[in-house]
Amino acid sequence: MQINWTAFSIFIIFFLFVAVLGFVAARWRRGDLSHLEEWGLAGRRFGTLITWFLVGGDLYTAYTFIAVPGLMYGKGALGFYAVPYTTVVYPIFLLILPRFWSVARSKGYVTASDFVQGRYGDRLLSFAVALTGIVATIPYIALQLTGMQAVITAMGIPGSWPLIIAFIILALFAYTSGLRAPAMIAIVKDLMIYITIIVAVILIPIKLGGFGPIFHASAAALAKHHPPGSIALSPKLYATYGTLALGSALALFLYPHAVTGVFSASSRRVVKRNMALLPAYSFALGIIALLGYMALAAGVHTKSTSEAVPLLFLKEFPTWFAGFGFAAIGIGALVPAAIMSIASANLFTRNIYKAFFVPNASHENEARVAKIVSLIIILLALVFILGFPQQYAISMQQVGGILILQTLPTVVFGLFTRWFHRRGLFLGWLVGIVLGVLMWASTGYQSTSYTVGGVTAYAGIWALIVNIVIAVVFSAIFRAMGLSNGEDETSPSDYRVDVEASA
């Protein structure tokens, strides 16, 4: 394949621009980056607009442009589960996140595991949540790098050296600027993505004869796949579709990067406003998902579903605008990957390094360790790509969801009640993790769906159900036995804290 120099040049120009922004961001809303709260949460000073771009840039990623249309291209209607999942998630977490933000602000918590430690006084349970968050995030970062790899391949760039260079740039500006870098870049990234979506939804249907012919052609193409796909969901996939949507929704704001984005907000009201405004991204996701059908209708042929959208852009856009779209996807991978590495580094530093090895670590020592760990996390994501190749990139997000869902009883239930016993929660988490991984492994690491009693559903939901049952049963047993449930350092007033929002 020859290098598409026009598209590649446009890609490089925008990529270098945001790389410079990433380093300049260290001076934006200046704070002492030798403190973890400044490096990892930007001093908790982001208002409504910046938080909207940051959280949106955090949640709508290469997953949006590459993985969702890729699943639509390969399997059809099943891939549309991402749209209802990103719709129902906000009403659910509107009830949860303001309370979570308040207690974190009141007690100075940087991570979800900080809250678990404070709520239950249990280092083991806190460690379990931290470890799960780190491990679940690595395949999610790998998904971002897969998206970048897809556009690099589409431009005809040989070898993996561009991905390595991108990794180095990402690692360096995350190390240098902390959360300020992805927050600043997210503004540029989202504007580029919206421009690309608007042009795509107007130009491509016009060139393909409208949505009617697109649906007709994609239905015919999907019927020839092995196994066959369909633009209409078959009844046997209802349970899989529904549980994927529900499980992904429940998991989304349990991820460390989502928690980090929320904790960086300046007030409880900013969090509420963002839960009301973020569905705008869900509308855009619905349009992006249809790019998978457009690729089928345009006659795009590829064995790698991750390359469907990049090849569609090359075929239907002017070369220069294809380069612009590729840059939007590439930057859309950089922003969340940076936040994810920072969030994982926060977890390791606060809830593993400081909790078990250096209890008296200074602020400077905490920040230094976090910066180093953020580099290691990105490196592990690269290893994940090589070690667990997936036909569908979206599987990486679903695998992470299986794991992070198992922290829901500890974190979410803990925000509202202290009835659950810390040992019951730990046992539920342990069984849920083991069961979820075994279900995934039983498919040869190729599918995150599992059949129980003739019903095929998302493995994360099956594991979560068992997790909750065990947590309830053993909590009742341990409470009846009078076993200590740890000390709660929080008070009811901590869950209602608010401060004035900054601009």
The string of pLDDT tens digits covering residues 221-267 is 999 998 899 999 989 999 999 999 999 999 999 999 999 999 999 99
CA atoms within 13 A on the CB side of 169: 22
CA atoms within 13 A on the CB side of 249: 23
Q: Which CATH architecture has domain 5-396?
A: Up-down Bundle (1.20)
Query: How far is the C-alpha of 3 from the C-alpha of 317, rounded, in Å?
Result: 17
Q: What is the pLDDT of residue 145?
A: 78
Q: What is the pLDDT of residue 479?
A: 96
Q: What is the pLDDT of residue 503?
A: 35
What the block records as the tokens of 410 is 């500890």
Residues with Cβ within 8 Å of 246's Cβ and at least 6 positions away in sequence, in order, are 85, 88, 458, 461
> Which regions in the chain score pLDDT beneath 70?
1, 63, 159, 385-396, 500-503
Q: What is the pLDDT of residue 58?
A: 78
Reported pTM: 0.91
**Which of 383-390's residues contact partners 24+ apart within 8 Å by CB, and which partners?**
384/138, 384/139, 384/141, 384/142, 385/142, 385/145, 385/146, 385/149, 388/139, 388/142, 388/445, 390/446
CA 350 to chain centre: 21
Q: What is the pLDDT of residue 391?
A: 52
Q: What is the dihedral of CA 20, 23, 28, 29, to 10 degrees?
A: 160
